[in-house]
Structure 1
């Protein structure tokens, strides 16, 4: 992995972007895209200017699918779809396509933060949704599985593998879910950061702008047999997985440039050692930040139960005498910007500071942040 110590040809230095998305990409990927920007592969045009029906783009999208199938060992029984509308569109598409798969016509939703809460709320528009844990105003942990209230034979079970805003992450599928229940997972913010077995899932979806590219693209990996079972004739075409599967993600003009960037990112991911390499980097980066927080004697505080601490989105507050100090947090953010570290402000729903450590972030860049954190604490304790 290459560090971001790079000038842009002028006097400014490239910033280290700790934003939650869109996120920074590896410098070598950006440089490769820059090299091809005005003339992709001898076409005399940028990829975004090429027809999505051209043989050139056809090769790009086929190679992109091949790369992700190789990285995740995706069997032929799954379709790989490159769609628009982001993860949010899937909040509607999933219940419209699959809520009536079983006689129960009910889906179980595990709400553990901002995004799974939004998904459940959207799904309620289309039928019966069972919230398996009680609603809460704060998300700092996950209730014990033996307290969950599951539906008997639900159409599917839905959860978010990593809550970008609150910083809650699952290491694996909840063990309490019966093996015959289709599992749907939003992996938008931790996709490709750790190994997982795709065959344990019915649907996995992820927006590109965090770990594998540019905004405007959402990847959907889906069991073909479930799509074929869908008999709902009232689904809008743009949300109908059967239509997209039959047309190879090109029923309408796909997001060609984001798919091209995903192609570059998937190839780069393979070169870094695939999921094994990404997992090692993710563990190293997150450990640096959590060690700094835990060794700060209460100056920095992350309120998430350690078992569920996210490795990719780390929110924390700065405390003075046990009380959140917003003035000191504002100073932290302004001094970080002066040190060329940006996008550290926490989401408006939780406040404070948030460090996002997606695959485009290097351990060396993360170390610069933790050094800054320790110095800031020394100067302001």
Structure 2
């Protein structure tokens, strides 16, 4: 058994893997890889997946759920285009690599972009305070969890300005109040399913209100009117996401997942804090439950530690190439036994 701490694509429950594998061979007489996205069988899957998102996150009335493509990287641009208002001015919270990319796409959409808060001054190792927010912003955009830096927002920013969040790496990991957001988007490949689909949860009242001329494919209203079927959807990714959503709901939902995630994080952070060979790389109050970043206090032990965790069937522990060190990504499906295995190896160093 390998213990997968990779930052993405995510691991999924074994039951989901088995059901997905079976559907590759037989999905009502065809392979799920060849079934028409217009067939009644798949239309039912798409409808179920969208409803299961609403059920899992308690999405209130007045929101549309979409499964599109392009990952969060396209979402950076889609969000800017669809939420441009009369001022064509947007506020971004810059907490790392992905929010930096979002800032760039906001500018590419022709908006005046204001970084209303940033943690770049300390290498993105903390979540900045949001103070003195301009009142003439069309929207505020932030990234809830920063996979590379290992930080995470612990509360939703309080604002009367339309709020957009890229939740690619922590959606479904804990309960959220969807009503506080005008748009949530998330690549599937961390906690939802295979890479290929991107989840959007958008407030209906904002659709079609942009002051920009939006390219057709980037217009969320177009996709909402077509029930995520404007073009051929990522059939297999949506199918597996739906399997995973059903598994989550059946096994206690997001509340139960959040409890397990907290237990896993506490176990690993306790070892980092109490083992003199290691130190965390982020502010304690802003530590991510999904991506635990740490480093050795003595680099001369690197070869030994790398040998230990490789021999221990652990994969994906290297930190992002831009920051180095180590990163243990602990998405929903990672079992606590894998965290225990890593902790034992850390104790053995």
TM over 0.5: yes
Distance in 1 (CA, whole Å) between partners of 2:104 and 2:44 is 39
Matching of residues 81-230 of structure 1 within 5 Å: 81-99=66-84, 101=85, 103-125=86-108, 126-134=110-118, 135-136=120-121, 138-145=123-130, 148-175=131-158, 177=159, 180-230=160-210
CA contact (8 A) 1:18 1:342 kept: yes
Paired position in structure 1 for 2:35: 50
Paired position in structure 2 for 1:6: none
Structure 1 segments, 4+ long, off by >4 Å, are none
Q: For 1:35-94, what per-residue CA distance to the aligned partner results, in whole angstroms no more than 9, with x for missing partners?
A: 332011xx2221121000000001111111111111111123111010000010011111
Distance in 2 (CA, whole Å) between partners of 1:93 and 1:104 is 18
Paired position in structure 2 for 1:242: 221
Distance in 1 (CA, whole Å) between partners of 2:326 and 2:6 is 11
TM-score, normalisation: structure 1: 0.88
Shift of the 119–329 alpha-carbon distance from structure 1 to 2, 3 Å rule, reads: farther
Paired position in structure 2 for 1:8: none
Structure 1, unmatched stretches of 5+, are 1-13, 377-381
Distance in 1 (CA, whole Å) between partners of 2:280 and 2:183 is 31
CA contact (8 A) 2:6 2:328 kept: yes
CA contact (8 A) 1:108 1:130 kept: yes
What SS is found at the alignment partner of 2:228? coil
Shift of the 36–142 alpha-carbon distance from structure 1 to 2, 3 Å rule, reads: closer
Structure 2, unmatched stretches of 5+, are none
1:273 is aligned to 2:235: no
Kindly state the Cα deviation for residue 149 of structure 1 after the two structures are TM-superposed. Answer: 4.0
Measured on the aligned residues, the alpha-carbon RMSD in Å equals 1.4
Distance in 2 (CA, whole Å) between partners of 1:309 and 1:137 is 15
CA contact (8 A) 1:167 1:315 kept: yes
CA contact (8 A) 1:83 1:218 kept: yes
Match of 1:361 among 334, 337, 341: 334
Q: For 1:258-287, what per-residue CA distance to the aligned partner results, in whole angstroms no more than 9, with x for missing partners?
A: 000100110111122111101001100001
CA contact (8 A) 1:37 1:46 kept: yes
Paired position in structure 2 for 1:343: 316
1:33 is aligned to 2:13: no
TM-score, normalisation: structure 2: 0.96
